[in-house]
Structure 1
Amino acid sequence: MDFSAVNWLAVIVAAVVAWLFGAAWYMGLSQPWLKAAKLDPATMSKSPLPFVISFVAEIV
């Protein structure tokens, strides 16, 4: 497979835009979900790993 014709800047920009859209979407839904799941945000771990994994998945 030849990747020489791929516009890598467009791929990165599309991944960033998709990641930002997903972040905005799920931030809007996070509070109702946390309430329904009976989770306390103060007790949850604050790892950046889910954000990194989701961004890598957007690129792939």
Structure 2
Amino acid sequence: MDNIDFGDLNYLAVLVAVVFNQVLGAAWYGALSRPWMAETGMTQEDIDVMKGTSRQWVPYVVAIVLAIVFTLGLALLVQGMGADNAGEGLGLGVLAAVGFVLTSHGVNYAFEGRSLKLLAINVGYPLISYALIGLLLAVWD
């Protein structure tokens, strides 16, 4: 782990990755909003009640902050593993998504009795995002 150095990270690539993550999330959940709402039991009325309250914007702030955290973590993993090509970056991104996101969500969903459909919706987005961000971080000098 001698290769981990916050000073050597490409912070522009991290910023671009965070913006990409947010755009992908908006597109993903925009396209899958109806099945996601059905699986979570939310209605349009529930969403309308949130308008004008902190419940409307706080999740977006949390999403951005946590995207920064995971992107920095993935950047450190890419750096520490010496990944410097598209395949290695993509592989590390998939490994991170499957190894951490799918496994932790899977356990929670099993105990909560949530559906595989909701698991696929909620894990599909980070799987794609982490994979492409890993690729970006590995190839952007």
Return the TM-score normalized by structure 2.
0.37
1:8 corresponds to: 11
TM-align CA RMSD = 1.7
1:57 corresponds to: 66
Q: Which runs of 4+ in 1 moved over 2 A?
A: 31-34
Q: Give the number of the structure whose residues are more often helix, by fraction.
A: 2
Say how many residue pairs are matched: 58
State the structure with more CA Rg: 2
For the residues of structure 2 that align with 1:42 and 1:31, how far apart are their CA atoms? 15
Cα displacement (A) at 1:38 = 5.3
Change (3 A) 1:2 1:28: same
Relative contact order: is structure 1 or structure 2 higher (C-alpha 8 Å, sep ≥ 6)?
Answer: 1
Return the TM-score normalized by structure 1.
0.77
Q: Percent identity?
A: 43
Point out where structure 1 has 5 or more consecutive residues left out of the alignment. Answer: none
